[in-house]
Amino acid sequence: MSKSSKKLTSILPKLTGVYFFKNAQHEIIYIGKAKNLYNRVNSYFQKYASDWKIQHLIDEHESVDFILTTNEIESLLLEAQLIQKYKPKFNALLKEGQPFVYILFAQPSPKKGHHNLPTVEIVRNRKKKGIYFGPFLQKIAARKTYAFIMNTFQLNICNKKIDNGCLDYHIGNCAGSCKKDFDSADYCFRIQLACDALKNNRDEFIKKIKTHIAAYNAELAFEKSQRLHDYLNNVDLIFSTLNTQFSETKFTDDIFIASTPTPYSENIDNSVNTELQHLLKFPTPIKTIDCFDISHFQSSHLVGSCVRFSDGKPEKHMFRHFKIKTLETQNDYAALQEIVQRRYKDKTYYPDLIVIDGGKGQLSAVKHVLHDAPIVSLAKKEETLFSTQFPEGIRIDVKTKSGKLLIELRDYAHHFAINYHRLRRKKNLLK
């Protein structure tokens, strides 16, 4: 492994998630999932000489980013979502079409002629009104579980009109909507049972399947019994997917962070830690720095951002967005107080230095709630830095590493806040 690749993979945790290879233009060229991000990405560099496809990927890539997930199923679903969105050149599968399916308990639709009844469907998009279960990447598993629900609770309906019921009704495949005396209330009750089975009580649902298997075995109906065994295996998979509570919007902020270009100087190294220590008259070198900024549009859609740099480099998994919760109109001081209190609710996240985008007023507002925390503010006007040691402010030298880092950190936080603000406004406009 080269020196650069060791430096690159050292930022990756040994945790589950999705990783991105990017080129020099910050374009995503490959997306993968891993139980252990560090080991998986390292394996690409180790296989460089033995696989020509990996050689091309490594030669073209410039950086690696990642998003952490809670488990492997979540990383699998997120990987599929991102490949479909970005269509990276080195990914062969999942680029086209909708990668997910959902089980939908749909609201009544009179247009279908189904006696204005609710229905259960397999769908690819969340366009209809109703209760959705999913998304599921394993379409075969989802369809088998759907079939089990429809057969077990007898939920298939038809548009026929036959007093004694259609052939499917007599062999148990139709709910009886074709009959003149169809009991729609009982049908709706069975729909609710099926929905509750998926929503609330996995154990009871599995127990019901096993009861059916035992009954079929007693009747020597082994073919039906084997089919239920298939359903049972897939229901386990479905419930494990449901337990992840994955949604296609769950990782919106993390995706934004991981896909945002990184505007900072590559030539800033660890020596900046000591340089900052001397500049700010700190007793120890400054390794980790957080910077906060506020963004709004005509006093609406107030948001905040926090970015962290370690040894002069962005530490993206420590970036945070904040939707201001306590204010309806613009108040930068109160907004800053809210987001720093939320950011450091757990004091183990304290950095060596906190930088606020602003002047004396912003610094005073944050000091009021964080008290003895190491805080400075950086005003854009003449690039003036304020702190306890420099209450009247000092102008920073933009030619030094420490000066460049502070400005780039402040500008990055500003860029990050503005982009998040635009994202929030876009979401509201699409509602």
Question: 120 with 179, same domain?
Answer: yes
State the alpha helices, DSSP H only, in 10-65: 37-46, 52-60
* Contact indicator for 52, 19 with CB cutoff of 8 Å: no
176: alpha, beta or left? (left if phi > 0; alpha if psi -120 to 50): left
Question: 422 with 273, same domain?
Answer: yes
Question: 75 with 108, same domain?
Answer: no
Mean pLDDT of 380-404: 88
Instruction: Tell me the residue range of the domain where 206 lies.
Output: 101-242
Question: 273 with 368, same domain?
Answer: yes
pLDDT at 322 > cutoff 80: yes
pLDDT tens column, 109-121: 655 545 578 888 8
* Amino acid found at 123: V
The span from the CA of 290 to the CA of 353, in Å, is 6
Residue 375 main-chain phi, psi, to 5 deg: -125, 140
> What dihedral do alpha carbons 324, 421, 410, 289 form, nearest 10°?
50
pLDDT greater at residue 193 or residue 157: 157
pLDDT at 288 > cutoff 90: yes
Q: In what order do the strands lie in the sheet with 130-136?
A: 119-123, 101-106, 130-136
- Estimate to the nearest angstrom the gap between the alpha carbon of 32 and the chain centroid: 15
Q: Which letter, b or e, does each residue of 295-304 get, where b requires 16 or more Cβ atoms within 10 Å of its Cβ?
A: bbeeeebbbb
**Has residue 136 been placed in a domain?**
yes
pLDDT tens column, 5-58: 444 544 677 888 999 998 888 788 999 999 999 899 999 988 888 888 888 999
**Has residue 185 been placed in a domain?**
yes
- The pLDDT value recorded for residue 1 is 42
CB atoms under 10 Å from CB of 109, counted, come to 15
Question: 312 with 194, same domain?
Answer: no
pLDDT tier for residue 429 given thresholds of 50, 70 and 90:
very low
The span from the CA of 206 to the CA of 178, in Å, is 31
Question: 294 with 425, same domain?
Answer: yes
Choose one of 86, 112, 139: the last residue of a domain.
86
Question: 276 with 416, same domain?
Answer: yes
Indicate the range of 169-173, 320-324, 425-429 predicted with least confidence. Answer: 425-429
Burial of 349 (0-12, 13-18, 19+ CB in 10 A): middle
Question: 283 with 416, same domain?
Answer: yes
Query: End-to-end alpha-carbon separation of the chain, Å?
Result: 49
Question: 423 with 287, same domain?
Answer: yes
**Has residue 252 been placed in a domain?**
no
- The pLDDT value recorded for residue 430 is 44
Three-class SS state of 123: strand
- Count of domains in the chain? 3
The span from the CA of 64 to the CA of 26, in Å, is 10
Residue 26 main-chain phi, psi, to 5 deg: 70, 15
Question: 105 with 184, same domain?
Answer: yes
Question: 229 with 283, same domain?
Answer: no
Tell me the percentage of the chain whose pLDDT exceeds 70: 80
Question: 188 with 281, same domain?
Answer: no
- The pLDDT value recorded for residue 230 is 67
317: Cβ contacts below 8 Å, ≥ 6 apart: 13, 66, 68
Tell me the percentage of the chain whose pLDDT exceeds 90: 16
Three-class SS state of 356: strand
**Has residue 256 been placed in a domain?**
no
CATH of the domain at 397: 3.30.420.340
- The pLDDT value recorded for residue 421 is 63
Three-class SS state of 386: strand
Find the angle CA(170)-CA(171)-CA(177) to the nearest 5 degrees.
50
Token pair 């079939």 is found at 147
* Residue of 413, 67, 402, 379 whose CA lies nearest to 265: 402
